[in-house]
Structure formats: C-alpha cells, structure tokens
Amino acid sequence: MKVLSPAVTIVLASHMKPYLRDSIESVLAQTRRDMQVLVVDSGQWIGQTDGRSAQMASIYAEYHGHPLIEWVTTGEGPELRRHRCPIGWTTNEVIRAGLIRGRYVSTFYDDDQYGPTFVQRMAGYLDDHPDARAVWCSQDRVRLDPDGTETLVGVIRANGPRGPGQFDCQVDGAQIMIRREVLDAIGDPWLPEDPGDSCRHSDGIFLERLASVVGTVPAIGEVLLRHRFTPLSTYTPSPR
C-alpha cells in the first residue's frame, strides 16, 4: 500500500539512463520506509524501439507498480534542452503540480545512489531538531567506467553548518533534505529554467535560495549517498 501521509518525498528525475534501476533500488533498500517516491520521467521512450527506449520500458514495467513508487510522466519533447534547463524545469513541474505529500523533501537523479540509512538519518535529524529547516550530509563522488568498475574521485564532506554563500558549486543538491514548507517560502521558480551555464549548477542556485530563506543548514558528517559520473554523464568529475 502507498503511504498516505509519508514523512519523506523523494523526487528522482530520470533522463532515460539505464542507471535508473540502480537509483531506484537504492531508494527501495532504505531502512526507513515511510516515504513517497516520485520517479519523474519524460516519457520520450514510449512507442520507440531503440535500445535506450527498450531499457526504459523494461525499468518501467518492473517498478511502476511498486507500492512506494509513483511514476510521473512529464511529456516534454526531445527539443526541451534547447529551450530550458531540463533538470530545473522537471523539478519545478513536480512542485507546481502539488505532487509532494511528504513533510520532508529530497531530490536526486538517475546517476545517484542512496546509502541504506539516508532517509533514516536525514529525516530522523529533522524529526529530532524541529528548529532545523534543512540538513545536509557527506557524499562520495565516483567514476563508473564502461566495464562496471567504480573509482572514488572525491568526497563532498559535510564538515559543519553552512549558510548563504557557501553552497553554489560547493554542495550537490542531492545532499540536502528540507522541510516541505521551505519550498513555499522560496517560491516559483525554485530551480533556474533558462538555458546556458546555469544548468550546470542549477541545484547550487536553488541551494543558495534555500540558504537565504533558512539561514544556517546543519550537517551530518556521514557519507549517506554516492554521486556517480557515468559514461552517459554530461560533465566530468570534480573532487570538490
């Protein structure tokens, strides 16, 4: 059964990558499960016969009926990248549509993987610290090679509280969990949608907006998730 009043909503944005299955499995392996999982998918694969589309069809068939998962198709066309920042637009559309039911929210993408205690530790911190409006954790950054081997290329260490001016291009958006009401305080558009260089750090721009609203964001020093630079990633790894 779906959780009617979940503690956490996880927004997992997919870009037709075969690594989506790994990301979904990392969510379903969480030790705390009072959550809503929104898998957000363009739907560009529907009715297509190429290899990537076939992979997406297989992943959809395997997971769309899972009781914790709500599969959302945005329906944007392949020309979207020419008009707006896809990551920003996709995330904003989920928020605009009022699909988020959790009192806490995290976002990540189909290159990423949660450690099994991500939800337990992050949501647990917000449960225990009612004055905290967000929390961040450490993240491993690895390169996934075509043969499947992984190489650690760096860590973004949650080495203490951070505030305005300390997030953009320094922290990955997947490292944050926020209270749902903070989205209302930030306002639409949450992430930038214009094309150009802002797309490469759209989550950083969002985090600076977040910091301007909440002030200091406390830290959990543990590495609770992994960002993978895959053969299909659109940028190269940086150790940060």
What number is the average pLDDT over the span 203-230? 95
What number is the average pLDDT over the span 47-72? 93
Q: Which of 68-77, 123-132, 138-147, 154-163 has the lowest mean pLDDT?
A: 68-77
Residue 171 lies in a domain: yes
What number is the average pLDDT over the span 179-203? 87
Residue 225 lies in a domain: yes
Residue 237 lies in a domain: no
Of 164, 143, 165, the residue nearest 154 (C-alpha)? 143
Number of structural domains the chain divides into? 1
Pairing of strands 219-229, 134-144: parallel
Residue 136 lies in a domain: yes
Residue 1 lies in a domain: no
Residue 137 lies in a domain: yes
- Residue 81: its pLDDT value, please? 56
Three-class SS state of 208? helix
Single-letter residue type at 5:
S
What number is the average pLDDT over the span 64-90? 81
Could you list the residue range(s) of the whole structural domain that residue 72 is in?
8-229
